[in-house]
Chains A and B, each alone.
Chain A
Amino acid sequence: MVMPGQRTGSTAGRKTTVMEEKRRGWRPGLGTLAGVAALASAIMALVVAPPDAIQGQSQRLMYVHVPSAWTAYCAYALVLFSSIAVLLRRGQRWDALARAGAELGVGMTALAIVEGSIWGHTVWGVWWTWDARLVTTAVMMFLYLGYLVARGLPGSPERVARRSAWLGIALFAQVPVVHFSVLWWRTLHQPPTLLRPDLEAPIAPLMLAALLTSLVAFMLAGAWFVRRRVAQLAPAAAPANETVEQPAAQPAPVRGTPVLARGDVTPTGAATAPLLLTRSRL
């Protein structure tokens, strides 16, 4: 039986305790809230909200499609602001935040496209059409997919972070193009219902409540993911750009062998250079 505080680390010398595992592992606050909100949004969307007068039951896909797109917008805004912070403050955690935002955004954009495709099949009769909103959204997804791929190009962590930051700032120009595409061009896709230039909201109150509940659930789940992902990519113990000296594992000195300090010269003439590691988790 493992007691709280007792070491469990029999694996590869990892000195972890049950309490440490709990602190680093499941965070019930945000995750639980997201789960409860998801349950509430499913009830609101599938039971409470009425079917659309024209589209019928298939309109219920809106409660997944629209929050996916909005979450993607917010994730890309996170990439933008984190990228600016990378250039101004040069923090690896800001860079991790930008990467997590892009990962969330690409998935949410893909989900929005697929959900929209299913919805389009039921009300338009086609899975895909070369509509301005659809095309600009797909372009946005591939642009940020390219951003994630570009992060894998060779370079030091600092160089990759700065290069990605410029890219993350530039790519955000596509987001308003997507949002306003239904206003700038004649599209099959309907114009926005909530974020309209005239600030009106032509939607039934129960539908609006279901949509906002679903949006809250998506945002909470997205925030939960980003927090977890940043903790993985750039642990909190590592401040921005900190270069730390990693204590190398020193074997026990053999009797009669002189113990050399770093910088000393070995009998063979080789200097014992300090082992420098950067605590980046890119």
Chain B
Amino acid sequence: MSAWAFVAIGYVLAACVWIGYLVVGRRRTRAEGPRQ
């Protein structure tokens, strides 16, 4: 594999991690109501 391929894998992986944070950050846990 060329160096660019590893660079591409690295950047796609970083994008996936941030998309994961985006999903967690947008999840609506407030709708569940207060916990007893």
Contacts and interface: CB of A to CB of B under 8 A. Distances in A.
B14 A111 contact: yes
Contacts of A14: 31
Nearest to B1: A122
A110 B14 CA distance: 10
Contacts of A235: 30
A232 B34 contact: no
Contacts of A246: 34
Interface in B1-36: 2-4, 6-7, 9-11, 13-14, 17-18, 20-22, 24-31, 34-36
Contacts of B10: 61, 64-65, 115, 118-119
Nearest to B20: A107
A241 B20 CA distance: 30
A50 B20 CA distance: 30
Interface centre among B2, B18, B35 (most CB of A within 10 A): B18
Given A281-B29, A281-B35, A68 B6 contact: no
B34 A64 contact: no
Interface residues of A, number: 42
Contacts of B34: 246, 277-281
A14 B3 CA distance: 52
Contact of B14 (A68, A224, A277, A281): A68
A228 interface: yes
Contacts of B13: 111, 114-115, 118
A64 B20 CA distance: 16
B7 A61 contact: yes
A63 to B, nearest CB: 9
Contacts of B29: 232-233, 281
Nearest to B32: A281
Given A57-B4, A246-B34, A277-B34, A229 B24 contact: yes
Contact of A224 (B7, B25, B30): B25
Nearest to B26: A228
A64 B6 contact: no
Please name the 6 residue pairs, one residue from A and one from B, whose CB atoms are nearest each other, closest first.
Answer: A228-B25, A58-B3, A57-B3, A64-B14, A61-B10, A225-B21
Interface of A: 14, 24-26, 38, 42, 46, 56-58, 60-61, 64-65, 68, 103-104, 107, 110-111, 114-115, 118-119, 121-122, 221, 224-225, 228-229, 231-233, 235, 246, 277-282
Interface of B: 2-4, 6-7, 9-11, 13-14, 17-18, 20-22, 24-31, 34-36
Given A110-B17, A278-B35, A281-B34, 4 more contacts: A57-B7, A68-B14, A121-B6, A122-B6
